[in-house]
Amino acid sequence: MIARAGTGPLRRLVVLRHAKSAWPDGVPDHERPLAPRGRRDAPAAGRALADIDCLPDLALCSTAVRARQTWELTAGQWGTPPPVRHDPRLYGADVPELLEAVREVSTHTKTLLLVGHNPGLEELVLTLAGDSLDDALDDVRTKFPTSAIAVLAWHGDDWGSLGPGTALLTDMIVPRGRKPGGQAGRTPGPKGS
């Protein structure tokens, strides 16, 4: 894997926006569950991460129901899911709050999965990526839809070394699950979302 120049081991931050949520009447935003499409797309995200050999050592997940359900369905695609921390700071977090949570992660973690919400996640990816492979950065700028995955790589001795422009955006994919009687898909970039 290619990463920006730097010292220390290769680290990857995998950013996953929660899958499509439902809008039931009278349900507070934090408690909104996944919609049927979200229940199809979240497992597809897990399969996509396995396909690109990008399984995390640790996951940080928003406490919102739709984010927790996304995590459960995504991780359910792997033989042994990594530990997860449900962090209330990730619900509605902006870039400084997201970075604070990421920078607290142990140096033993090489690949970290962050499950949360827009606009914070999209802004985080755009802040951290100094460059990208192919058109990944342009794809994020165009749209970071539900179930979107962005993989950022850099070399650093710890998670505190991650800062604006220090990472290379290696992947931006939008996995889509199979509709009953339909086709499954992994759509690169925002197309088909």
**How do 167-176 and 149-155 pair as beta strands?**
antiparallel
Residue 11 near residue 159 (C-beta atoms within 8 A): yes
Binning pLDDT at 50, 70 and 90, where does residue 101 land? very high
Confidence at 33, pLDDT banded by 50, 70, 90: very high
Residues of the chain with pLDDT > 90: what percent? 85
Question: Across residues 169-188, what is the average pLDDT?
Answer: 75
CA 182 from centroid of its chain's CA atoms: 25
Task: Tell me the C-alpha to C-alpha distance, in Å, between residue 172 and each of 86, 128, 137, 159, 187.
Answer: 24, 14, 8, 21, 9
> Is the confidence at residue 7, as pLDDT, over 80?
no
Paired with 153 in beta bridges are 12, 168
Residue 65 has pLDDT above 90, yes or no: yes
pLDDT at residue 100 in the model:
96
User: Would you state the pLDDT for residue 6?
Assistant: 65
Classify each residue of 1-36 as buried b or exposed e, where b means 16 or more C-beta atoms within 10 Å of its C-beta.
eebbeeeeeebbbbbbbbbbbeeeeeeeeeebbbbe
Both structure tokens of 156: 């650093």
Of the candidate ranges 4-8, 88-92, 121-125, the one whose mean pLDDT is the lowest? 4-8
Band of residue 182 on the pLDDT scale cut at 50, 70, 90: low
Max distance between CA atoms of the chain, in angstroms, equals 51
Q: Using the predicted structure, report yes or no on whether residue 129 has a pLDDT greater than 80.
A: yes
Asked if residue 15 lies in contact with residue 114, where contact means CB atoms within 8 angstroms, the answer is yes
Tell me the average pLDDT across 47-74.
97
pLDDT at 181: 62
Q: How confident is the model at residue 178 (pLDDT cuts 50, 70, 90)?
A: confident
